[in-house]
Amino acid sequence: MRIPLLDFGRIAPDEKGELESAFRRVLESGHFILGEEVAAFERECADFLGVAHAIGVSSGTDALLLSLESLEIGPGDEVICPSYTFFATAGSIARTGAKPVFADCCPGCWNLPPQEVRRKLTAKTRAIIPVHLFGQPATMTNLLAVGQEAGLAVIEDAAQAFGASSDGQKVGGRGLLGCFSFFPTKNLGALGDAGLIATQDGALAERIRALRVHGSRVKYRHEWIGGNFRIDALQAAFLRARLPRVEAALEMRRRNAALYEEAFRASGIAALSPEPCRCQGEERVAPKVTSPLLLPRNDRGEHTWNQYVVRYPTDRDGLRRFLSEEGVQTEVYYPLPLHQQPCFLDKGREVDELPVAELLARESLALPIFPGLSPGEIQRVVDLIVRFVSQKGNEA
Ligand SMILES: *Cc1c(COP(=O)(O)O)cnc(C)c1O
């Protein structure tokens, strides 16, 4: 039995039918870039997210880049972001000419802690980009407070957390700008590349709409230097077909996370990761845990479990190889933290030590959790891990 990290083929027949009719609708309209389909998609996303404006763009990466450009962030500026995230978060900052300043992550929830942001503030800091990592909301209330105190823009990288919420609000709608990706592995996946920017700010929304088409509001008159950041009508139509099902898909992810936790706890080899979340400022000492496998916690808000990431300090790579031989696909998010990436090292910058990011890069392993995964498959993944971990334990 092969268990993939994500099986794109497992689309319910009725959903397939809806995707096909979306394709036919666009084909027959003859309108393939922006237009009615995109406008309708943007309205539906704005409603879903509870924001005034949603702007469809070409990818999550482009959503980040466009957000930074709309704030005229560039050379001489600094932007604080976590080191333990997908490359695009920091890559977008660097592409504007600004300097990404890497912060360590919280040992509990693995998100950007407000006190780490405070430590990294300088006179050049213009913005902070918290990431709702693996689908779990960062502590927006506290991060927004730091942003407000220091006069900084808060741009949410919500690429992995479409539909997640905290304090009764959807993520991506609380910062000045919120960036989403519809890459096929994300909570809401297109059949190709697509992204979205959410904001309550009408003036910024207007500027972003212009920057999306080479900085022009009136054809062939360019007020700013923008680019081609357009979303295809076809992707917008596919996403419209899928949006009404996204809550059900998130429920399945939550169910799968609960099944993993239950099965792992019953196995006796695993316990919830003991380090408390430090994002609210409290400094509690982690209780001693002797279990070899550490499970992810839900510290805040409505987690969407875009990834289910366990830690196995003893031999993560060995476990991964074993699972691969048994037909179970896993992934390491992320094997090299961004502050250690070659492209950020050779600029003569001092290399920080960010111990939590470095630890997670060594120990973490993402297991399959996509909505179509069956309880039997989850049990098989757990059984295989128990077998490997017990064997390792006996060897030791
Ligand atoms: C996927 C992802 C992005 C980039 O989105 P693309 O649509 O692939 O460009 C940015 N940030 C994070 C945290 C992501 O996971």
Predicted local distance difference test score (pLDDT) of residue 287: 78
Backbone φ and ψ of 243, nearest 5°:
-55, -45
Instruction: Identify the weakest region by mean pLDDT among 54-68, 119-133, 188-202, 270-284.
Output: 270-284
Q: Does 84 contact ligand 1 (Cβ within 6 A)?
A: no
Percent of the chain with pLDDT over 70: 97
Pocket test for ligand 1, best of 65, 86, 306, 338 (most atoms within 8 A of CB): 86
- The pLDDT score that the predictor gives to residue 395 is 81
pLDDT recorded at residue 349? 62
Q: What percent of the chain has pLDDT over 90?
A: 89
pLDDT at position 310 over 60: yes
Mean pLDDT on 355-368: 97
Task: Read off the pLDDT of residues 9-27 as tens digits, 9 standing for 90 and up.
Answer: 887 888 999 999 999 999 9
pLDDT in the model for residue 278: 86
Residue 158: CB within 6 Å of ligand 1?
A: no
Token pair for 82: 């976590």
- 334, 341 in Cβ contact below 8 A? no
> What is the pTM (predicted TM-score) of this model?
0.97
pLDDT at 248 over 70: yes
User: Is 80 exceeded by the pLDDT of residue 376?
Assistant: yes
Q: Residue 131 CA: which ligand 1 atom is closest?
A: 13
Average pLDDT of span 327-344: 96
pLDDT-derived band at 348 (thresholds 50, 70, 90) equals low
Residue 108 gets which letter from DSSP?
A: T
The 364-367 sheet, strands edge to edge: 270-272, 293-295, 308-311, 364-367
* pLDDT reported for residue 350: 64
Distance 59 CA to ligand 1 centre (A): 8
Average pLDDT in the 242-256 region?
A: 97
The pLDDT value recorded for residue 301 is 82
Which residue out of 59, 177, 183, 239 has the highest number of ligand 1 atoms within 8 Å of its CB and is therefore the one to mutate?
183
User: If you measure from the C-alpha of residue 166 to the centroid of ligand 1, how many angstroms do you get, rounded to a whole number?
Assistant: 21
pLDDT the model gives residue 137:
96
DSSP track, 229-294: -PPBHHHHHHHHHHGGGHHHHHHHHHHHHHHHHHHHHHHTSEEE--SPP-TTS--PPPPP---SEE
Compute the average pLDDT of residues 341-366: 87
How confident is the model over 84-103, as a mean pLDDT?
98
Average pLDDT over residues 296-324: 95
Tell whether ligand 1 has an atom less than 6 A from the beta carbon of residue 135.
Answer: no
What is the rounded average pLDDT for all residues in the chain?
Answer: 95
At 240, give phi and psi (nearest 5°). Answer: -65, -35
Model confidence at 225: pLDDT above 60: yes
Q: How far is the CA of 130 from the centre of ligand 1 (A)?
A: 13
Average pLDDT over residues 324-352: 88
Residue 311: the pLDDT is 97
Going by alpha carbons, the residue nearest to atom 13 of ligand 1 is: 86
pLDDT tens, residue by residue, 71-93: 999 999 999 999 999 999 999 99
pLDDT of 280 = 79
* pLDDT tens column, 137-193: 999 999 999 999 999 999 999 999 999 999 999 999 999 999 999 999 999 999 999
Domains located in the chain, CATH noted: 13-103+110-243 (3.40.640.10), 246-395 (3.90.1150.10)
Q: Residue 88: CB within 6 Å of ligand 1?
A: yes
d(CA 366, CA 320): 10
Tell me, using a 6 A CB cutoff, whether residue 157 lines ligand 1: yes
Q: What is the whole-number distance in angstroms between the Cα of residue 180 and the centre of ligand 1?
A: 8
